[in-house]
Structure 1
């Protein structure tokens, strides 16, 4: 049986300014993403992380990743979606996913540690 292929798109935590988020830092974000990637594996999904820059190459990086193989589900992370400075990047990435993976379900997490729940809602 083939596992459901999941792509998790997020900002590289090392590039994010956490000064307005006192309870978060790059290490916590990365740990949350990696823990949820492992959780997805135990649930029978094959998840890959696609961490991007703040917008210069992000659409191209995501398009290239989506061209590597078919993904059943694509998660666009809360860091891209909820921080107002990245609104245009979010819009670009939604359109990249729509073009490159039209059959994939798109879902959204609310924090690095609830990605598995977002995937389970749609995959």
Structure 2
């Protein structure tokens, strides 16, 4: 099997839904942990349906996040790492977002980095960088 035919490996990085501050005005009204979990499940299914190996790495919004991510990145050679909008969009998550991007850059320099807007478009975010439809 050629490199282009090999199964693509994608890591989806998101914040543990139970640690999200739903009072943050930067988040959509009515959002809750159950809705995030449902969106994550949908995004993971869509990537599996594309024939990709997809892993999920949920982090806490604290100093443990980079350690957890770097440990996950040491287990598999990923083609793409998608960092979720829940980490990227809220202004108060900027430092966490920067730390995670730098962890990917350091621990998986071969991986493309992509960003979703919500869990269900994670596969589309990865596809932009994997040169697949």
- Scaled by the length of structure 1, the TM-score of the pair is 0.95
Q: CA RMSD in A?
A: 1.0
Following superposition, the deviation at residue 55 of structure 1 comes to 1.9
Unpaired runs of at least 5, structure 1:
none
Match of 1:107 among 108, 114, 117: 114
Moved >3 Å (runs of 4+): none
Distance 2:126 2:113 in 1: 9
Task: Specify the alignment match of 2:90 in structure 1.
Answer: 83
Following superposition, the deviation at residue 23 of structure 1 comes to 2.7
The answer to whether structure 1 residue 61 and structure 2 residue 68 are counterparts is: yes
Task: Specify the alignment match of 2:33 in structure 1.
Answer: 26
Task: Specify the alignment match of 2:17 in structure 1.
Answer: 13
Tell me the secondary structure at the aligned position of residue 120 of structure 2: coil
- Scaled by the length of structure 2, the TM-score of the pair is 0.88
Aligned length: 123
